[in-house]
Structure 1
Amino acid sequence: MSKLKLITFDLDNTLWPVDEVIRHAEKTCSDWIADNHPDAAAALSAERVRAVRTALLKEKPQYLDNLTALRQDAMSRAFVEHGFSEPEARRIALDAFKVFHTARNQVRFFPGARAVLEQLANHYVLGALTNGNADLQMIGIDDLFAFHHSAETIGKRKPAPDMFAAALRDASVTPVQAAHIGDHPLEDVHAAREHGMHAVWANLVEMDWPVELERPSHHILTLEEIPDLVAQLND
């Protein structure tokens, strides 16, 4: 049996809880618009943004592969529909997104995350695979990862195999030499094992496993369990 060489991690809800982060980032963004462009603030009610996002996704489902473009274009369209010119709407939307993105990367790690990553990075190649738009450099853990692939950089979101295939190529390993750790039953666990990798369900936000999917062979409730689990996978 081949020894484990590569460990890939999902990010949101795997290394940190994300819901509160996004809520805070959206409020920070809304407050910035209200302070700097009060005439545009009325265009960005929660209901309006949801309606615009829904319309954009209906027109172009590929937006799910690029959440940055979706958020920027949704704000831009909301401003245009509120009476702004397209260039002005775009300028405000891009400036507002920078504010959102800065706040979006102010995360609070699950207990033990940094220590576990540092320990693993001494023995394995680490990679990040995410459908979101977290920035490892802004978060301060980019030094621990050999690579970071996202739906935006690859062009396809998990559970499509593209991101996993890119990880295996980058690390020059076979699927049985790789393990993926993530919170999402379909996009992380099922997708990784379909690709032939070891799959670990990181259930740190107390989800229920969907009945339609085969239960995972490995699951953790805290990140501190990972080193022992990895040792088991290697035996």
Structure 2
Amino acid sequence: MPVVPEPRIGGLSPLSTCDWPGQLVATIFCQGCPWSCRYCHNPHLIPADRAGDIPWRDVLAFLERRRGLLDGVVFSGGEPTLQVGLVDAIAVVRDLGFRVGLHTGGPYPDRLSGLLPRLDWVGFDMKAPFADYARITGVPGSGERARASLGMLLDSGVDLEVRTTVHPALLSTADLAGMAESLGILGVRRFVIQCFRPQGCADDELATLPSALDGEAIGGIMARFPEGYIRVG
């Protein structure tokens, strides 16, 4: 039987109330991402060839001590679906009695498809209008991969939050309105606007540009979503 590589872990948050809204979770930050979004506040997690900072055995030892104290575990990143051993890692976490959430941008639809039966919740990061993804991710064709992944998520029935990080220098109100219309047609109920956070952002120019949002305009856009809201911080 082939040996499955352990996931490379770039960080561990022992307690979070915002990474899976409504749940008390630990968040595992996986190392590596195929995209390089300018607003990323975890740029140290982007290099896929960088070794993880925390051994997987230490993560499991920590989770063993938190059994019965946490509602679940979120695999975040970076991009967790980059990890070849993610399916097995999720299985181990579920065997410990935890519900499992996933943060993903959807760059690997085929891998995501295999994970869906094992997930309780997904936070899907929509970067831009699908036709304009490369402007944010730096990778041609990334929008088509994200579109396919979102379609799978919606068909699966897994509890889903679609969220978009917004900096006015990258996404206009018109961009957001178009995205909201597309998501509404697809049947998305929970669309969340995340305000840009300069902390940790490696793009010095973006971090110093005005990032305040037009609250009135965005409020009008979000009104079409029964569970939509703006997340600050």
Between Structure 1 and Structure 2, the one with more strand by share is 2
Rg larger for: 1
Q: Greater relative contact order (Cα 8 A, min sep 6): structure 1 or 2?
A: 1
**Do they fold alike, i.e. is TM over 0.5?**
no
**TM-score, scaled relative to structure 1:** 0.31
